[in-house]
């Protein structure tokens, strides 16, 4: 017995041994059996080089196993041109870097006449060309390719199974998808759902009692993220063929306040133009709520030029930001500075600086006094402002806050409309006479405060400059400093520095403006620039070069006009029009009490996705019947949305149909009824121009350099946004699509039935725009760049003289103006692509409008007031500091974007501990790495804290891009397939889950800026507790 037990133990020992050494034994077996891993002796699994360059001659030889092509990156909204390297044997992307022709990836970029082959040599060791001509992709751009073969992709159309957001789907055929979404029916066993055909009612008003809202078709809403080069096709379908008014982008929750504030100065509330510092030539730049090199648009180009400028010692910059980011670099020392600021108080800093400029005679008065471009240019200024124009400031006057116009003063304006474009603005000339601005050749008076006689009535008028000055002088520098938490000497030092570099200084902003005082903070940033007159100057505040329009009534094809084209009508769902234009206003006014409106209206804003959800779920102005989400993720991106409207979205009785077009399942389309797979990055088409920050014209070609992974339609097209809208158009027989959907320049019809029909003809327009069309691609260009596979399509869709030119564009990855096109050939100190209209130092569009809830006039110029809710109640009045001692902000992850979570860059930095200042952490008993709970009036969440001094005291900073619930963080079931469990991708927090709703609004909409309607994600009241 005893002995047997010993043997048993021995056997157990052996078994344990075998288990413990199994790996070792396996490895030994491997090396005996010689399991081949395809390794090289010294290089392991490193990829074969894509080509060879003879360093003596520069001769290029391609690797026949690989393909190198130029297309676009969608790793973030910068949309850089990239060089994609593909393994021909597997069809997989090996690695991605920059396209040397593309200014977003290369500075200076290669001219178009360099052949494809030479462009490869230009990236190599040959004569060290690859160092100076370096063309890059960023960390995210390098990692993004992981999404192509991601197990989380949607590859076939999906239909939900069970309730919304339950994570269960059934794959369906493309034909079934089209049938169901067009015809509707009892789709989910939950009752009848209107299909898109029924919803396309262009006649019946939404509300017969209020026809101004427009026809029922407006109850189909469409949200898209950013223009990835396909937006104009989307708009053509949804707006001009299908007919809905409601088609918006993500602007209102991206940088809406910045854009709106800038739009006020630039006088364009639809296009909302903005400038950027000319980083290649600037001497001093103030980054206020934008973090160059950390995020920002264009991310890479800005980062590269910042790095170059500070290392050269040419560029000094200061980053005003509650949080420290990669915009700072201590190795570059005093060339760059970080100055922490209390969130949402930039206006105070800026007005403090302006006050110092005023008091120290640093305002460029001469510049401001030129009332027209002509006068300005005659005096060597490439831009001009409205500073000298006269504004009606008579209280109670219907034109209060608007400019005095010729017609008011009895000037003969012929048959021009009063207050129209032809009705002249007025200023006081040097002699003291009121004159139409065009009549003043030199300076106009900047300081005017006078009474004028308008039809027998005395009206007080003042210049915009006077009004701005008043606004600036409303507080002392010390008071301003106190508001923003920046010491007086720093405020003054910044003003001094800013005004000590001539025109080679500039201030710029973006995401940091998304606070409860965002619009005026942003307006103040751009106004500061106007005070030194830096617009259009080399080294100053410069405009984007823009693109070459593909979708235009272009030189070769008309991609815009078509018979039956619909101009959508009505009141937009986001209420981004003046309240005074509504029925409600008229009725209430008749009843004697025009204000308040039921809820906010936003005259100074473009489409407001931020307001859509409050609108639709409160039926004000009306509700949606169907929502289309195309590569958009508002539930992840808009603060407070999920908390407030998640339940409503899950309820089909409140919003009957949700369709998403997306390659992935994100936090928003997890609520969809149908998901239409879309192409991802290198699989897709498009023509994209630089969003901003590129002084030369550029247009990047996106084309499928790899085979799309999605399922195909019956006629062989990949299922995608394009094939979806083509099929919808066909099913509903919509205009502007189909066999005769497009027309060439001579008016002859050509088909619009597949993606190539659209993009190739857009390409032809691009190729022929400008003074001279681009040259022809050579056979070698075509063969080497992978464009050969497009040839049959190019030849079929285009005319004989066109296809080589379009092939040229694809071989170069786009069309790009020469780098030398940045500055004016005649006047090299001026930019070439200049903003030519006036800068509205006083905006009559804003200053003449009223807050629909309070009925009060908005200030019409840069001004400072504390972050507030829609009705003007300061946030701190509702949520005082004693109860909510912290202000919460978020900043973009330097590495992640909002959907890069399941890629290799995540392994480097898998979560986002929230940053707390050591002096704030200590009293809470928190140490680096402690668990804590973060709370706002609308929610609470667990987090980990990162304690360091890289954050303003009293502020908690959250890196954006983590805290996902989807995109891999939850495993979905699709038919009989279950996605892998990667719950590690949930790591970290998303500040937007704590976003707050506006307590002053009955709709309890998420907090938005009162003027721009932009989401407020900076400066949320909060608490932190040890967990």
Residue 801 CB partners (closer than 8 Å, separation 6+): none
| Part in contact with ligand MGD (CB under 6 A); list of ranges 12-20, 438-446, 788-796, 1014-1022 | 1014-1022
Among 86, 110, 121, 137, binds ligand SF4 (CB under 6 A): 137
- For ligand SF4, the closer CB: 74 or 507: 74
Closest separation in Å from C-beta 692 to another protein: 18
Of residues 83, 140, 362, 1004, which one binds ligand SF4 by CB under 6 A?
Answer: 140
Among 82, 241, 248, 254, binds Mo ion (CB under 5 A): 254
Rounded to the nearest 10 degrees, the angle between the axes of helix 641-649 and helix 609-618 is 50
Neighbours of 820 (CB within 10 A): 12
For the beta carbon of residue 321, count every other beta carbon within 10 angstroms.
Answer: 29
Alpha-carbon gap, residue 128 to 111, rounded angstroms: 18
In the window 420-479, what residues touch ligand MGD (CB under 6 A)? none
With CB cut-offs between 5 and 8 Å by kind, which of another protein, ligand SF4, Mo ion, none does residue 949 bind?
another protein
- Which residue lies nearer to ligand MGD by CB, 78 or 463? 78
Residue with tokens 């030519």: 836
With binding defined as CB under 6 A, does residue 991 bind ligand MGD?
Answer: yes
- Phi first, then psi: give them for residue 146, nearest 5 degrees: -60, -25
Cα distances from 418 to residues 410, 459, 850, in angstroms, run: 11, 18, 21
Binding region for Mo ion (CB under 5 A) out of 20-28, 251-259, 354-362, 418-426: 251-259
79 touches ligand SF4 by CB under 6 A: yes
Q: Among 85, 109, 274, 300, which residue sits at the site for ligand SF4 (rule: CB under 6 A)?
A: 300
Measured CA to CA, the distance from residue 500 to residue 498 in angstroms comes to 6
Here the tokens at position 496 are 């001094």
Site for ligand SF4 contains 612 (CB under 6 A): no
How many CA atoms does the CB half-sphere of 724 hold within 13 Å?
A: 27
Residue 306 interface partner, choices another protein, Mo ion, ligand SF4, none, CB cut-off 5-8 Å depending on type: another protein
Sign of the Cα torsion 462, 466, 468, 470 reads negative
Chain residues 357-386 in contact with Mo ion, contact rule CB under 5 A: none
The pair of three-digit structure tokens given for residue 628, joined into one six-digit string: 């289309």
Cβ distance 133 to 122 under 8 Å?
A: yes
Q: Count the residues of the shown chain that bind ligand MGD, applying the rule CB under 6 A.
A: 59
Residue nearest to ligand MGD (CB): 511
Rounded Cα distance, 927 and 922, in Å: 7
Rounded to a whole number of angstroms, the minimum distance from the CB of residue 255 to Mo ion is 6
- Provide DSSP, 207-222: -TT-GGG-BGGGGEEE
Ranges within 681-710 binding ligand MGD (CB under 6 A): 681
Residue 291 contact, options ligand SF4, Mo ion, ligand MGD, none, Cβ 5-8 Å cut-off depending on partner type: ligand MGD
Q: Does 434 bind ligand SF4 (CB under 6 A)?
A: no
Of residues 33 and 771, the one with the C-beta less far from another protein: 33
Spatial distance between the Cα atoms of 823 and 628, rounded to a whole number of angstroms:
42
Q: Which of 293, 340, 343, 600 binds ligand MGD (CB under 6 A)?
A: 343
Phi and psi torsions of 826, nearest 5°: -80, -40
Chosen residue from 50, 70, 71, 75 binding ligand SF4 by CB under 6 A: 75
Which pair of tokens denotes residue 595? 């204000």
- At its nearest, how many Å lie between ligand MGD and the CB of residue 835? 21
Dihedral over alpha carbons 75, 77, 82, 87 (to 10 degrees): 30
- In sequence order, which residues have a C-beta less than 8 Å from that of residue 3 and are 6 or more positions away? none
From 323, 659, 774, 790, residue interacting with ligand MGD (rule: CB under 6 A) = 323
| Listed ranges 72-80, 401-409, 415-423, 707-715: which one lies at the site for ligand MGD (CB under 6 A) | 72-80
CA torsion 688→694→698→701, rounded to 10°?
A: -40
Stretch that binds ligand SF4, among 4-12, 69-77, 394-402, 688-696 (CB under 6 A): 69-77
- The distance of closest approach from Cβ of residue 132 to another protein in the complex, given in angstroms and rounded to an integer, is 7
CB of 768 to Mo ion, least distance (A): 32
Please tell me whether residue 79 binds Mo ion under the rule CB under 5 A. no
The entry of ligand MGD, another protein, Mo ion, none near residue 681 (CB within 5 to 8 angstroms by kind) is ligand MGD
CA distance 503 to 130: 33
Q: Comparing C-alpha atoms, which of 159, 161, 111, 107 is closest to residue 132?
A: 107
The nearer residue to ligand SF4, 117 or 300, going by C-beta atoms, is 300
Residue 850: closest CA among 842, 865, 860, 840: 860
Task: Give least dist CB 75 to ligand SF4, A.
Answer: 3
Q: In angstroms, what is the minimal distance from the CB of 167 to ligand SF4?
A: 29
Distance CA 950, CA 954 (A): 12
Please identify which residue in 53, 60, 68, 73 interacts with ligand SF4, judged by CB under 6 A. Answer: 73
Q: 659 pairs with which residues across the strands?
A: 628, 674
Chosen from another protein, ligand MGD, ligand SF4, none, partner binding at 255 (C-beta under 5 to 8 Å by type): ligand MGD
* Cα–Cα dist 122/137, whole Å: 16
Q: What is the DSSP secondary structure assignment for residue 868, as one 8-state letter? A: B
Nearer to another protein, 263 or 968 (CB): 968
- Contacts (Cβ under 8 Å, ≥6 apart) of 906: 143, 896, 900, 985
**Is residue 100 near ligand SF4 by the rule CB under 6 A?**
no
Scanning 290-298, 543-551, 694-702, 996-1004 for contacts with ligand MGD by CB under 6 A, the matching segment is 290-298
What distance, in Å, lies between the first and last C-alpha atoms of the chain?
57
Task: Kindly tell me which of 327 and 769 has the beta carbon lying closer to ligand MGD.
Answer: 327
What is d(CA 598, CA 1002) in angstroms, rounded to the nearest whole number?
8
- Which residues bind to ligand SF4, rule: CB under 6 A? 73, 75-76, 78-80, 137-138, 140-141, 299-300
- Which residues bind to ligand MGD, rule: CB under 6 A? 74, 76-78, 225, 250, 253-255, 288-291, 295-297, 299, 320-323, 325, 341, 343-344, 346, 510-512, 515, 631-634, 636-637, 639, 662-664, 666, 678, 680-681, 889-894, 897-899, 960, 991-992, 1017-1019
């Amino acid at each position: 017995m005893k002995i047997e037990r010993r043997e048993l133990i021995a056997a157990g020992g052996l078994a344990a041994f075998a288990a413990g050494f199994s790996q070792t034994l396996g490895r030994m077996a491997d090396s005996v059996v010689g399991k081949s891993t395809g390794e090289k002796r010294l290089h392991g699994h490193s990829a074969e080089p894509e080509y060879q360059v003879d360093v003596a001659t520069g001769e290029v030889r391609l690797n026949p196993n690989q393909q190198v092509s130029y297309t676009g990156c969608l790793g973030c909204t910068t949309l850089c041109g990239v060089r994609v390297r593909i393994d021909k044997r597997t069809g997989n992307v090996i690695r991605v870097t920059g396209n040397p022709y593309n200014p977003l990836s290369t500075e200076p970029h290669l001219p178009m006449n360099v052949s494809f082959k030479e462009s490869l040599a230009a990236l190599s060791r040959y004569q060290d060309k690859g160092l100076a001509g370096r063309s890059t992709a960023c960390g995210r751009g390098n990692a993004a390719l992981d999404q192509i073969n991601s197990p989380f992709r949607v590859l076939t159309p999906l239909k939900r199974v069970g309730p919304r957001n339950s994570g269960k789907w059934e794959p369906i055929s493309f034909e079934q998808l089209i049938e169901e979404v067009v015809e509707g029916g009892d789709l989910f066993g939950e009752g009848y759902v209107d299909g898109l055909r029924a919803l396309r009612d262009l006649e019946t008003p939404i509300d017969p009692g209020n026809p101004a809202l427009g026809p029922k078709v407006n109850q189909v809403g469409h949200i898209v993220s950013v223009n990835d080069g396909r937006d104009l096709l989307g708009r053509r379908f949804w707006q001009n063929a299908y007919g809905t008014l409601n088609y918006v982008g993500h602007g209102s929750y991206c940088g809406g306040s910045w854009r709106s504030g800038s739009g006020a100065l630039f006088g364009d509330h639809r296009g909302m133009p903005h400038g950027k510092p000319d980083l290649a030539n600037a001497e001093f730049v103030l980054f206020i709520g934008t973090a160059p090199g950390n995020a920002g648009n264009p991310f890479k180009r800005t980062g590269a030029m910042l790095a170059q400028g500070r290392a050269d010692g040419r560029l000094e910059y200061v980053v005003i930001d509650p949080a420290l980011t990669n915009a700072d670099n201590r190795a570059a020392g005093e060339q760059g500075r970080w100055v922490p600021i209390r969130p949402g108080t930039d206006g105070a800093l800026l007005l403090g600086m302006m006050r110092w400029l005023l008091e120290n005679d640093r305002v460029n008065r001469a510049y401001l006094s030129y009332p027209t471009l002509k006068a300005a240019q005659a005096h060597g200024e490439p831009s001009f402002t409205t500073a000298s124009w006269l504004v009606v400031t008579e209280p109670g006057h219907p034109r209060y806050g608007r400019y005095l116009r010729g017609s008011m003063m009895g000037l003969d304006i012929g048959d021009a409309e009063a207050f129209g474009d032809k009705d002249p603005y007025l200023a006081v000339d040097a002699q003291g006479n009121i004159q139409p601005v065009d009549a003043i050749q030199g300076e106009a008076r900047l300081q005017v405060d006078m009474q004028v006689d308008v039809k027998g009535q005395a009206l007080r008028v003042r210049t915009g400059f006077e009004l701005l000055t008043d606004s600036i002088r409303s507080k002392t520098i010390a008071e301003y400093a106190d508001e923003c938490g920046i010491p007086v000497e720093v405020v003054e030092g910044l003003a001094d520095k800013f005004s000590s570099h001539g025109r080679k200084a500039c201030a710029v902003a973006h995401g940091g403006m998304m606070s409860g005082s965002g619009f005026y903070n942003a307006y103040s940033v751009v106004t500061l620039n106007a005070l030194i007159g830096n617009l259009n100057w080399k080294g100053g505040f410069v405009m984007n070069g823009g693109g070459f329009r593909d979708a235009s009534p272009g030189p070769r094809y008309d991609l815009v006009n078509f018979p039956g084209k619909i101009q959508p009508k009505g009141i937009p769902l986001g209420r981004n029009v003046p309240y005074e234009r509504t029925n409600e206003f008229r009725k209430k006014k008749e009843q004697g009490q025009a204000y308040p409106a039921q809820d906010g209206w936003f005259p100074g804003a473009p489409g407001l996705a931020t307001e859509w959800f409050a609108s639709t779920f409160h039926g004000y102005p009306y509700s949606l019947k169907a929502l289309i989400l195309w590569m958009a993720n508002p539930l992840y991106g808009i603060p407070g949305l999920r908390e407030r409207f998640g339940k409503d979205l899950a309820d089909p009785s409140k919003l009957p149909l949700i369709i998403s077009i997306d390659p992935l399942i994100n936090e928003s389309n997890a609520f969809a009824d149908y998901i239409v797979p879309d192409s991802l990055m290198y699989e897709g088409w498009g023509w994209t121009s630089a969003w901003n920050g590129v002084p030369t014209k550029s247009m990047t070609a996106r084309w499928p350099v790899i085979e799309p992974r999605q399922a195909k339609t019956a006629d062989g097209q990949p299922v995608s946004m394009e094939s979806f809208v083509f099929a919808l158009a066909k099913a509903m027989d919509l205009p502007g699509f189909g066999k005769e959907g497009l027309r060439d320049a001579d008016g002859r019809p050509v088909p619009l039935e597949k993606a190539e029909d659209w993009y190739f003809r857009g390409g032809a327009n691009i190729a022929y725009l400008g003074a001279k069309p681009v040259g022809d691609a050579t056979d070698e260009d075509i063969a080497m760049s992978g464009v050969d596979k497009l040839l049959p399509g190019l030849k079929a869709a285009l005319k004989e003289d066109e296809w080589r030119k379009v092939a040229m564009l694809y071989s170069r990855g786009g069309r790009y103006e020469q780098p030398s096109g940045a500055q004016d050939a005649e006047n090299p100190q001026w930019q070439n692509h200049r903003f030519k209209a006036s800068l509205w130092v006083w905006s009559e569009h804003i200053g003449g409008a009223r807050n629909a809830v309070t009925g009060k006039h908005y200030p019409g110029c840069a001004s400072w007031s504390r972050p507030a809710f829609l009705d003007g109640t300061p946030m701190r009045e509702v949520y005082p500091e004693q109860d909510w001692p912290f202000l919460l902000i978020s900043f973009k992850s330097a590495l992640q974007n909002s959907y890069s979570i399941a890629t290799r860059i995540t392994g480097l930095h898998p979560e986002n501990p929230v940053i707390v200042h050591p002096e704030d952490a200590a009293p809470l008993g928190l140490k680096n790495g402690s668990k804590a709970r973060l709370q706002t009036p609308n929610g609470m969440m667990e987090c980990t804290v990162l304690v360091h001094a890289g954050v303003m005291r009293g502020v908690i900073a959250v890196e954006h891009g983590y805290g996902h619930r989807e995109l891999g963080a939850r495993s979905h079931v699709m038919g009989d397939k279950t996605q892998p469990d990667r719950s590690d991708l949930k790591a970290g927090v998303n500040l937007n889950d704590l976003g707050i709703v506006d307590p002053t609004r009955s709709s309890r909409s998420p907090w938005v800026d009162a003027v721009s309607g932009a989401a407020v994600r900076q400066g949320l009241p909060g608490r932190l507790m040890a967990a």
